[in-house]
Amino acid sequence: MTKIAVFASGSGSNFQAIAESIIRGELNAKIELVITDKPGAFVVTRAKELGILVLELAPKAFESKAHYEQAIVDALQEKHIEWIVLAGYMRLIGDTLLTAFPNRIVNIHPSLLPSFPGKDAIGQAFEHGVKVTGVTVHFVDAGMDTGPIIAQVAIDVAESREETESRIHQAEHKLYTATLQQLFQ
């Protein structure tokens, strides 16, 4: 069974989907730790309800990004984490984590990368008037949503942003679990 840490900054819907897929036996992994850069984020509540250990670290409490990431690496090594799974983690990963977990950090992004990297990809898609957007799972590198693509699925853009977001979340929850299962085998 693969030991993973999930990093999240917000509500944790992708974290919840991953945790539920593990419970259903669809993903052969164990979430050993949830890490958030936003103490008090709703993902903390979700994780605690499932009995999963949470590490809440405010980056501004550290001397530098390297110190912040070293505290994370220490916690990950203590738990013998094999993979880092980003699930709505809104912070660029730096050299300290990238060096400690080479080709072992995965992210999900709500667009068909390389289109619409960064924040508010769904808003960017609407702004550009595209008819199709999607979801991408990719390895993390030093750039913003620039790592090698592992899997993608296309989604038709709906009339409303809310419906498009709903479609994307549904696709994310299926694609991420399936992709992670393949990676962990």
List of domains in the chain: 2-184 (3.40.50.170)
CA 83 to centroid of chain Cα atoms: 11
Contact 122, 161 (CB under 8 A): yes
CA 149 to centroid of chain Cα atoms: 14
Q: Is 167 part of any known ligand binding site? A: no
Q: Which two tokens stand for residue 180?
A: 């992670």
**pLDDT at site 44:** 97
Low-confidence ranges of the chain (pLDDT < 70): none
**pLDDT at site 50:** 97
Q: Is 93 part of any known ligand binding site? A: yes
Q: Is 91 part of any known ligand binding site? A: yes
**pLDDT at site 132:** 96
* Sheet with 29-36, edge to edge strand ranges: 54-56, 29-36, 2-8, 83-86, 105-109, 132-139, 149-156
Q: For residue 82, with 0-12 CB atoms within 10 Å meaning exposed, 13-18 middle and 19 or more buried, which class applies?
A: middle
Active-site position among 67, 109, 138, 169: 109
Tally of CA atoms within 13 A in the half-sphere of 10 that contains its CB: 9
The verdict on whether 138 is a catalytic residue reads no
